[in-house]
Amino acid sequence: MFPKLLLFHITALLSVNTLVRGANLGQWGPLIEFPLVPVAAALLHDTGELLVWSAYSTDTFGPTISGQTQTAIYNPATGAVTKKTITNTQHDMFCPGISVDFTGRIMVTGGDTAAKTSIYDVTGNDWIAAPDMKIPRGYQASAILSDGRTFVIGGSWSGGIGGKNGEIYDPTKNSWSLLPGCPVAPMLTADNAGVFRQDNHGWLFAWKNGYVFQAGPSKHMNWYGTTGSGSQTAAGLRASDTDSMAGNAIMYDAVAGKILTVGGAPDYNGSRATRNAHVITIGTPGSTPSVVQINTMWYARAFSNGVVLPDGKVFITGGQTFTDPFTDNNAILTPELWDPTTTKFVKMASNQTPRTYHSVGLLMQDGTVFAGGGGLCGSCHTNHLDGQFYSPPYLFASDGVTRATRPAISSLSATTVKIGGSITVTMAGAVNSFSLIRMASTTHTVNTDQRCIPLTPTVSGLKYTIMVPGDAGVALPGYWMLFALDSAGVPSLAKTVLITL
Ligand SMILES: *[C@@H]1O[C@H](CO)[C@@H](O)[C@H](O)[C@H]1NC(C)=O
């Protein structure tokens, strides 16, 4: 009798193990070395390469204001890395605001050299100096607006503490102007380090008619209007959420105005992160959004990264359960995948390398996610001059090992399309749906560029016609990745589409 029982237990254990090993949790690729800590990252629209940078140094930052930045471009097709020290804009671009404009230029404001603006012209492969901001900033957030101007707010980490109200860059005039009607006070957290930390890393979402929705990290949410001298309207509390510094907010369905928020902590340094998750639905600018508290994440996280995938699911990776910058203490090595249909999180394949403070996450054109960086603390033990690509479950058959056969886009009727316009996609085989994901930039958990537009095509044989939403606040002009998804949810490689006003 005893041996039989034992046998039963062994069999039960074995079958559980087999189940875990056979489950489709996605896969991490090999660790890739970089010549610097990738603290900031942006996707290059012309080649699909990854632009990353650190600070004046490859593995540490200030206080020396040296007016240069260490950058590298990684080519995912060849694995080649090109390192370059940028000196011509005299800008140490550590801890900046970043957003990508209507023509795909990567706009970098402030940081260590707090007033400077540098713009990376992707097609010219060149950094260009733009005028200084009126208010010097570091740790501000920046967002491209529906009219092509760029809004920034917050940023007391650099350039003086307090008073970091909104200002705006107009590309047609190549100039900055203050928006006194956009005060930063309503979006402050109650951080124990004071204003220095309270106005950092705003969760900004460009929306209709030049408006910006600020979803966090403060528990108070706000609308900022950017016409004239600007305006601000309180948008209520994020349900019963705490202040959520260094959490993530991801617009996973721009058409429906849906934003997922996860994690973060009340204080930038020395507080417990949360497992909290909410879905915010925004509508008419100025109106109070709906906020629904949903199932929590499996892990509490701050300094994690959130990446929307072509199927509208959101991948949450890295972070630590207690805010402790420049350490890997309490690092979470198991990412989670959030499904908007079930509103539940599922644990994915773990990796080995902690990605905490100063780590980045970004969607690539092949549907993988880049996760890299962490550290930038000189002689510390937590510098990560590396990154890794994660292949989500949709790239595998149900055994989690065999690669899925991907649908292929044969051709597009146009690669440039106006808002409200349509594109006919010729496929090599039948597919179910399409999605557009805006090419993005990120640093310090903030990514105001990424958003997903799910698309239902009209079908004629293997020709699928998709319609781009007609509002520039939803289909923010600029470069987007167009994915086709088959009936099993397997995405194609992306084609690049430029959406224009
Ligand atoms: C965080 O707080 C600890 C304890 O007060 C301090 O030693 C450390 O320097 C702080 N780190 C940062 C990045 O502010």
Tokens read off for 193: 């380090």
Closest approach atom of ligand 1 to CA 269: 1
Q: Which residues pair with 250 in a beta bridge?
A: 260
Q: Tell me: do 273 and 420 sit in the same domain.
A: no
**Rounded to two decimals, what is the model's pTM?**
0.95
Query: Which residue do the tokens 């011509």 mark?
Result: 88
- Domain check: are 382 and 439 in the same one? no
Centre of ligand 1 from the C-alpha of residue 113, in Å: 22
464 and 387 in a single domain? The answer is: no
For position 470, which CATH number holds? 2.60.40.10
103 and 144 co-located in one domain:
yes
Would you give per-residue pLDDT tens digits along the chain (501 residues)? 334 444 444 433 333 333 445 689 999 999 999 999 999 999 999 999 999 999 999 999 987 678 999 999 999 999 999 999 999 999 999 999 999 999 999 999 999 999 999 999 999 999 999 999 999 999 999 999 999 999 999 999 999 999 999 999 999 999 999 999 999 999 999 999 999 999 999 999 999 999 999 999 999 999 999 999 999 999 999 999 999 999 999 999 999 999 999 999 999 999 999 999 999 999 999 999 999 999 999 999 999 999 999 999 999 999 999 999 999 999 999 999 999 999 999 999 999 999 999 999 999 999 999 999 999 999 999 999 999 999 999 999 989 999 999 999 999 999 999 999 999 999 999 999 999 999 999 999 999 999 999 999 999 999 999 999 999 999 999 999 999 999 999 999 999 999 999
**Structural domain includes residue 5:** no
pLDDT at 22: 63
**66 lies in some domain:** yes
CA distances from 326 to 60, 193, 198, 439 (A): 11, 17, 19, 28
Task: Please report, for the domain that includes residue 230, its CATH number.
Answer: 2.130.10.80
Residue nearest to atom 2 of ligand 1 (CA): 269
Residue 203 lies in a domain: yes
- The predicted pLDDT at position 14 comes to 38
Residue where a domain stops, chosen among 343, 370, 395: 395
Task: Kindly give the number of the ligand 1 atom that is closest to the alpha carbon of 357.
Answer: 13
> Could you tell me if the CB of 269 is within 6 A of ligand 1?
yes
Using alpha carbons, select from 82, 80, 78 the residue that is nearest to residue 70. Answer: 82
Three-class secondary structure of residue 216 per DSSP: coil
- Are residues 269 and 329 part of one domain? yes
Q: Identify which of 462, 442, 479 has the alpha carbon closest to the alpha carbon of residue 51.
A: 442
Write the DSSP symbol of residue 406: P
Residue 62 CB–ligand 1 contact under 6 Å = no
Q: Whose CA is nearest to atom 10 of ligand 1?
A: 269
Q: Which of 339, 373, 395 is at the close of a domain?
A: 395
Separation between Cα atoms, residue 377 and residue 387, nearest integer Å:
17
How remote is the CA of residue 269 from the centroid of ligand 1, in Å?
Answer: 6
- Residue 304 alpha carbon to ligand 1 centre in Å: 19
144 and 225 housed in the same domain: yes
Q: Which domain holds residue 193?
A: 34-395
**b (16+ CB within 10 A) / e for 408-425:** ebeebeeeebbbeeebeb
Count of CA atoms in the C-beta half-sphere (13 A) of 478: 34
Q: Are the beta carbons of 430 and 486 closer than 8 angstroms?
A: yes
237 alpha carbon – ligand 1 mean position (Å): 29
Question: How big is the chain by its Cα radius of gyration, in Å?
Answer: 22
Residue 260 shares a structural domain with residue 346 = yes
pLDDT in the model for residue 7:
40
- Ligand 1 pocket, residue 322 CB under 6 Å: no
> DSSP code of 233?
E
Considering the domain architecture, whether residues 352 and 309 belong to the same structural domain is answered as: yes
* Residue 404 maps to a domain: no
Distance from the alpha carbon of residue 310 to the mean position of ligand 1, in angstroms = 38
Q: Is residue 26 part of a domain?
A: no
Query: Same domain for 358 and 419?
Result: no
Q: Provide the number of structural domains found in the chain.
A: 2
Confirm whether 453 is domain-assigned. yes
Closest CA to ligand 1's atom 6 = 269
Order of strands across the sheet that contains 248-253? 248-253, 258-262, 277-281, 290-293
Q: Which of 362, 395, 428 is the last residue of a domain?
A: 395
**Cα dist. 294→203, 239, 463 in Å?**
19, 11, 38
Ligand 1 pocket, 194 CB below 6 A?
no
Say whether 357 is catalytic.
yes
Name 144's Cβ contacts closer than 8 Å, sequence gap at least 6.
99, 100, 101, 102, 107, 150, 206, 448, 449, 476, 478
Specify whether 324 is located in the same domain as 185: yes
Q: Which atom of ligand 1 lies at the shortest distance from residue 324's CA?
A: 1
CA of 446 to the centre of ligand 1 (A): 21
In a domain, 162, yes or no: yes
Nearest CA to ligand 1 atom 14: 269
**Residue ranges of the alpha helices (H) in 89-211?**
195-198
What was the pLDDT predicted at 17?
35
Q: Ligand 1 pocket, 270 CB below 6 A?
A: yes
Cα-to-centroid distance, 292 and ligand 1 (Å): 34
Report the alpha-carbon distance of residue 479 to residue 42 in Å, rounded: 12
Pair (439, 468) in one structural domain: yes
Query: Which of the listed residues 269, 320, 356, 377 should we mutate to test ligand 1's pocket, taking the one with most ligand atoms within 8 A of CB?
Result: 269
Ligand 1 near 325 CB (within 6 A): yes
Say if residue 371 is in the same domain as residue 420.
no
Residue 449 resides in a domain: yes
C-beta of 196 in contact with ligand 1 (< 6 A): no
Annotated active-site residue in 299, 357, 390, 479: 357
- pLDDT recorded at residue 180: 98
Write out the two tokens for 163: 């008073």
